[in-house]
Amino acid sequence: MSDWLACGDIAPGDTLSWTEHVWGGSRTCPRVLGDRSIIALVLRDSYGADCGQHTLTLRVLASGGYEYISTGLQIRRKARTLYGANAERLLWSDETARTAALAEKHGRGDAARARRVQLREAEFMGRGGG
């Protein structure tokens, strides 16, 4: 039996399971066409230089439902999307290794936020602020 837990924080190496809507229609009149379930492995994560959005690169292990995604395909999702979808993660055989992966990820996130603050301050000073 697999041990799935509510996903409080996502780390590279996590195996995630979630269900997402598949959207259609137009930008002005979007509509849900159906739902798709995905199980995927987190290959890596990154923080955007401009907005600092946490983005995940995942490899699909299984998928079903409307317009399912082929096994083995790499996809990208914003972490906030998966948190909002109530993603679950598979328990690691060594949770201390996961804790180390989270610490490294949080260090990169802190550095990205610090860079963003520096850029904003430099932009503010360049406009004659301060």
User: How do the domains of the chain map onto residue ranges?
Assistant: 4-126
What distance in Å separates the CA atoms of residue 104 and residue 63, rounded to the nearest whole number? 29
Whole-structure pTM value: 0.77
Domain at 4-126: CATH code: 2.30.30
What distance in Å separates the CA atoms of residue 115 and residue 117, rounded to the nearest whole number? 5
36-53 tens-digit pLDDT: 999 999 999 887 766 667
45-86 tens-digit pLDDT: 887 766 667 899 999 999 999 999 999 999 999 989 998 889
Helices (H), the chain: 79-84, 95-126
- Token reading at 85: 């979808």
Residue predicted with more confidence, 68 or 127? 68
- Token reading at 33: 């066409």
85-119 tens-digit pLDDT: 899 999 888 888 787 777 777 777 777 777 777 77
